[in-house]
Structure 1
Amino acid sequence: MSIRERLSGNEAIATAMRQINPDVVAAFPITPSTEIPQYFSSYVANDKVDSVFVPVESEHSAMSATIGASAAGARAMTATSSCGLAYMWEMLYVAASDRLPLALALVNRALSGPININCDHSDAMGARDAGWIQLFSENNQEAYDNMVMAFRISEHPDVRLPIMVCQDGFIISHGVENIELLEDDVVKNFVGEYRPEHYLLNASEPLAIGPYANPPYVMEAKRANLQALENSKKVMLDVAADFERISGRKYSFFESYRMEDADYAMVIMGSAAGTGKDAVDALRSMGIRAGLIKVRMFRPFPASQIAEALKNVKVVACMDRTESFNTVTGPLGADVRCALYDAGIHAKFVNYVYGLGGRDVTVASLTSVYEDMMKIAADGTVGQTYRYLSLKG
């Protein structure tokens, strides 16, 4: 039986961590993720988990300690935000190339500068090519659910990769919502015991983890990492199906919202997807065939599945909560456009940068995107394909 609670996103993540009961959690505080290790350290102090909590001197050390614990054969986790993730940068690539199934709770916050502590996706987008699995959450419930599913995906023998569970800073992390928790024993049975096949503390199998790779081996290692990401797609679907059986909540690579006959489709990630759904509902009430794709699994990117979902629309608007500074497109926009091109889909396409540094995202602002799409369909021309939404002046 589910447990009804009112929790912030950070509390929801910490609760999932308590139920998972990892062997090691190493962390260093940074706003707005600080509450996650704070809550978890209280669980350790009050004997609610069997975990070892490692307070370290920096985020680089937090990821290093998490990597060391995972390499030793422990189920290991950490949490961070923004510049903390940037400080981990070197070690993110090490975790993926060493094929370590550790988990990171990322509370999305703008990278400086200018100095800002509010939400955008610049931290996660900067790490998108590090070889990790990345799941994005629309709300507190999804943040909790994604974390409960994380280790089942990352620890699968066909995957064995680190996983990043993302939630929008302050909007989700500090916003309190109604949430349905699973019972502790249900989560324990769902996640299962971690039994690594190869690990440093296995005295019967001496091995090295993370050795220097000469040129003849580096490309093969990267190709193996890529294959593991490809394998994670099927694993994610299988885990989501098992999760639906215990929770009643259904997940996939993305959510299609009112896309059955949509002429105009928005592709978006994170908390703003809920605002986008309200805009779609308002437009539908006026007879406008609007729809929305909310991406949940950003890495690996489900290109063919998204192209299939968009194959009948007239105009696509892709929403990036970050700036790539290539003057052409954002990271989500680039992936969606590539998916459409490879599938031979010729829908009109426009890419928006929105919500940087915590800029408000309203129903009215997202409705204006659909209005732009309708103008594009009527005129037959896109004009400027890369635009900023709600820019002052």
Structure 2
Amino acid sequence: MKEVMEGSHAVSEAVRLAKVQVMSAYPITPQTHIVEALSEYCADGRMAGKFICVESEHSAMAAVIGAASGGVRTFTATSSHGLALMHELLHWSSAARLPIVMAEVNRALGPGWNIWMDQTDSLAQRDTGWIQLYCEDGQESLDTTLQAFRLAEAVSLPVMVVLDAFFLSHTYEPVDLPDQETADRFLPPFQPRIQLNTADPFAVSQMAPPPVYMEMRHDIQKAMEGVPEAFDQVEDAFESVFGRRYGAIDAVACEDAEIILVMAGTAASTCRQVVADLRERGEKIGLVKLKMFRPFPTDLIRSVLGKAKKVAVLDRNCCFGIGGIFAQEIRAALYHSDNRPPIFSYISGMGGRDITPEILEEIYRQTKESAFPEKESVWIGLNQ
């Protein structure tokens, strides 16, 4: 059934279809619409789950950690400084191997105070042990949220479903909304690996002295290494039910591309049209949309980008002192490749600024006209 809904509500509907049992969140723009809808579903009986109101994002994550430890399916959502406040507990949830799913609506960090789109908040959490999946549109937001529960429960790691503030969270689009029976065919009831039980007591997140701590961290790394295969299996199952799949990356017109643009989120939609337009003018350009950021899809990146003459990476973020984060990851991924095309790093669209076709064409022009990057990152679209 097709419905026109905003991106936030696409996530809410997926959570409802997943029959989540415990939700907890603290309101922060622009994720608020997600949890507002869920609280209404719990209040009016459309969901049988429990919505826990808390005083902060730190407490929201603490609540779902407790619930997940009790063996139930859990969900939360946040943005920006709310995610930053959760930082401590992101480590606790991943190290405890809890399959929590969280929607993270990308929003700029202050100061100055800004409620608009910026990827720095989620990327600042890249080392916390959470799987990160970035969405392009409303349909992908719904589908990825459903997939996230099955993936998290398969590998016993939490999953962050990331979507752009306002460009996606507050934009209305037609979305194919499945019925409950169809969703149930894809996502079975939760069978917890960890479940606190007074009849069979055991400790969770206890003291880990030197003889065991390193092994625990190694287990997390091994689980992350298994995510790409598990993700493919989840997508196979999803495609068999819904007829759609996304891939850890989406390569568009890359077979003969001499210059490939790489980006994540809604900017990829604009870039699809730019690629089509430039192709009509005879330009050999391609696009790679990066969906999975953690774990980083190194093998796929090498297989696609290793064929290009040049790669241009668009980051809506900045790691101060080094530059664009996606660009640095791609440089590292290609380091051991036989063919290492130069990586041109561009930063634009921070704080909600538009990524226009003109900006993407300028990125392509600068990359084409330069033999080698002159800077670690070039800022495009500055008002100066």
**TM bucket, shorter chain:** over 0.9
Deviation track 1:88-146 (CA, whole Å, cap 9, x = no partner) reads: 11000000000000100111101112210000101100111100001000011111110
2:278 match: 283
- How many residues align? The count is 384
2:64 match: 66
2:305 match: 310
2:167 equivalent to 1:176:
no
The one-letter code of the counterpart of 1:113 is P
The one-letter code of the counterpart of 2:52 is V
2:235 equivalent to 1:237:
no
Equivalent residue in structure 2 for 1:40, among 25, 38, 41: 38
Query: Structure 2 vs 1, CA of residues 296 and 381 (structure 1 numbering), >3 Å: closer, same or farther?
Result: closer
Equivalents in 1 of 2:274, 2:211: separation in Å? 53
Q: For 1:91-240, list aligned pairs within 5 A.
A: 91-156=89-154, 159-201=155-197, 203-204=199-200, 206-240=201-235
1:368 match: 362
Equivalents in 2 of 1:51, 1:355: separation in Å? 38
Equivalent residue in structure 1 for 2:256, among 261, 264, 268: 261
Specify the SS of the correspondent of 1:342: coil
Post-superposition offset of 1:342? 1.6
Post-superposition offset of 1:202? 5.8
Equivalents in 2 of 1:88, 1:335: separation in Å? 24
2:375 match: 384
Contiguous gaps of at least 5 residues in structure 2: none
Contiguous gaps of at least 5 residues in structure 1: none
| Residue pair 1:73, 1:201 contacting (<8 A) in 2 also | no
The one-letter code of the counterpart of 1:345 is N
Post-superposition offset of 1:252? 1.1
| Residue pair 2:26, 2:60 contacting (<8 A) in 1 also | yes
Deviation track 1:249-283 (CA, whole Å, cap 9, x = no partner) reads: 12211100111110010110011011111111111
Specify the SS of the correspondent of 2:335: helix
1:321 match: 316
Deviation track 1:269-327 (CA, whole Å, cap 9, x = no partner) reads: 0110111111111110100010010011110000111111012211101111111012x
Post-superposition offset of 1:207? 1.2
Post-superposition offset of 1:247? 1.3
Q: TM-score when scaled to structure 1?
A: 0.96
Equivalents in 2 of 1:354, 1:185: separation in Å? 43
Equivalents in 1 of 2:62, 2:294: separation in Å? 22
The one-letter code of the counterpart of 1:331 is I
Equivalent residue in structure 2 for 1:349, among 337, 343, 347: 343
Equivalent residue in structure 2 for 1:270, among 262, 265, 270: 265
Equivalents in 2 of 1:202, 1:288: separation in Å? 66
| Residue pair 1:304, 1:343 contacting (<8 A) in 2 also | no
Equivalents in 2 of 1:277, 1:391: separation in Å? 23
CA RMSD of aligned residues (A): 1.1
1:4 match: 2
